[in-house]
Structure 1
Amino acid sequence: MTGIMLVRHAQASFGAADYDRLSPLGHEQAAALGRALAARAAPRPVRVYRGRQRRHRETLEGMAPALGLDPAQAVLHPGLDEFDAKGLLGARFGPRGLPQTVREDRKQYFQILRDTVLAWQRDEIADPPESWTAFSDRVAQASAAMLAEDGPVLAVSSGGAISRMIVAALDAPAAQMIQLQLQMKNCAVSRLVGRTGALFLHSFNEAPHLATALDERLLTYA
């Protein structure tokens, strides 16, 4: 049986011109998660995977020292990349996308993102940067690659890709993906186990870095 530990990236830079980099707090979260996992003495992964975005790399680099891992040895898999939320919103609302005031209002932004993802899944958005089917297919390819490994796997990804894997494992409706995604903490750990081509959900949205640090500053979602 293969165990897959899925780590959502640490806090990125919401509202900034470049979202795809960890905030100072995000770097703290990544280091704290590494220490927490090391303290649990979890089995050493036979392979480490990550998405190709900067926030994935920086999260793994923050975790790696405590776990004795070499981030340079990680397998980069496009199936662990997040869907292009900015491009998707642009396809729905036009070249200007959302007003700056909306992008800075987290509650309003995520309500609009939820509705946009649901419309995307229903194929109601013209010319999205990626179709829902293509996104689902590449995430499934990442799942299959990790399931084929001979032992525990650690993967750093994003909330949408991780939630898509979980929905597939549960055989749940596609609409549940965005509901899970919006509940996922930064640096949260979800676990899948699999055998003979099938994956099963073992845990969702664990935050061991919070239990160890006892620091509510580290609890973030965006």
Structure 2
Amino acid sequence: MAELLIIRHGQASFGAENYDVLSDLGRAQARAAGEWLRNMGWVPDRVITGALNRQIDTASEMGFDPEREEHAGWDEYDFGSLLLSRFEGKMPDLHSGDRKLHFRTLRETVFQWQRDEIENPYETWAAFVARVEAARAAAVDTKAKRVLVVSSGGVIGQVAAASLQAPAEHMMNLNLQIKNAAMTRFMFSGSMFSLNEFNATPQYATPDGFKLMSYS
């Protein structure tokens, strides 16, 4: 039996012009995750990320030795592009500090995307599902016993929901729960693939570690 451990990237730059940059907190979160895994004797045989800077830099801060592989199937869906399609090019103001509005709009937009109610999206929901599955299949097509992937909340939510054969909407319910640098673990062998642990953050389970926790 082998393990696929998917880590969500550390905190990125929420509300900034370029979101795809780790904050100082995000870098500290990544280092804490890597240190906890090493202390537990868990060292990966493979390290894979998507092509996004926040994923690549999280893997770098974790500090494991295997040469990093890259598969764009682990990239997050592009919320900004979905918003432009949903609102016909008129981007709503979601950077005014109202986090509830931001995440409510995110949830509603993804649900519409899943139901094919957004015209001409940059990527269809079916295409997103297919590329995430291709990335998952490539990660487990290996003789490695411990595979570490750094990805993003929507992708992790989709892999978890698919492994449970849950309705599409469940992906978003999972997505919005996932903490920065949280660990979601799957066991695999041949065609068997099952969820073992979801959204775990043991590296934050101390008074000092708790100060590192964030969701966005």
Fold equivalence (TM over 0.5): yes
Normalising by the residue count of structure 2, what TM-score does the alignment of the two structures yield? 0.95
| TM-superposed deviation, 1:198 | 2.9
In structure 2, relative to structure 1, the CA distance for the partners of 1:213 and 1:76 (3 Å cut) is farther
Residue 29 of structure 2: aligned partner = 29
Partner of 1:143: 136
| Superposition map of 1:158-177 within 5 A | 158-177=152-171
**Cα distance 1:100–1:170, how it changes in 2: closer, same or farther (>3 A)?**
closer
Describe the SS at the equivalent of 2:16. coil
Match of 2:100 in 1: 107
CA contact (8 A) 2:94 2:102 kept: no
TM-score, normalised on structure 1? 0.93
Runs of 4+ deviating beyond 6 Å:
none
Report the Cα offset of residue 100 of structure 1.
Answer: 4.6
- Counterpart residue type for residue 56 of structure 1: Q
Tell me the equivalent position of 1:59.
58
SS at match of 1:97: coil
Q: What is aligned with 2:65?
A: 69
1:85-128 CA distances to partner (integer Å, 9 max, x unpaired)?
A: 110111111323121555x3211101110011011000000011
Matches within 5 A, 1:113-124: 113-124=106-117
- Corresponding residue SS for 1:204: strand
Taking the aligned partners of 1:209 and 1:141, their CA distance within structure 2 comes to 30
Aligned to 1:4: 4
Alignment deviations for residues 29-72 of structure 1 (CA, whole Å, 9 cap, x no partner): 11111111111111x322111010000011011111xxx425xx
TM-superposition CA deviations, 1:162-196 (whole Å, max 9, x none): 11111111000010001001000000000011122
SS in structure 2 at match of 1:215: helix
% same residue: 41
Where structure 1 has 5 or more consecutive residues not aligned to the other structure, the ranges are none
8 A Cα contact 2:15 2:95, kept in partner: no
Equivalent position SS for 2:181: coil
Whether 2:68 is the aligned partner of 1:87: answer no
Aligned AA (1:191): R
Letter of the 2:8 partner, please give it: R
Q: Contact between 2:94 and 2:101, CA under 8 Å: does it hold in 1?
A: no
Within the alignment, does 1:179 sit opposite 2:166 as a pair?
Answer: no
Report the Cα offset of residue 207 of structure 1. 0.5
Matched positions, count: 215
Paired with 2:181 and 2:95, the residues of 1 have a C-alpha distance of 27
Q: Which has the higher helix share?
A: 1
1:36–1:212 CA contact under 8 A, matched in 2: no
Counterpart CA distance in 2 for 1:132 and 1:99 is: 24
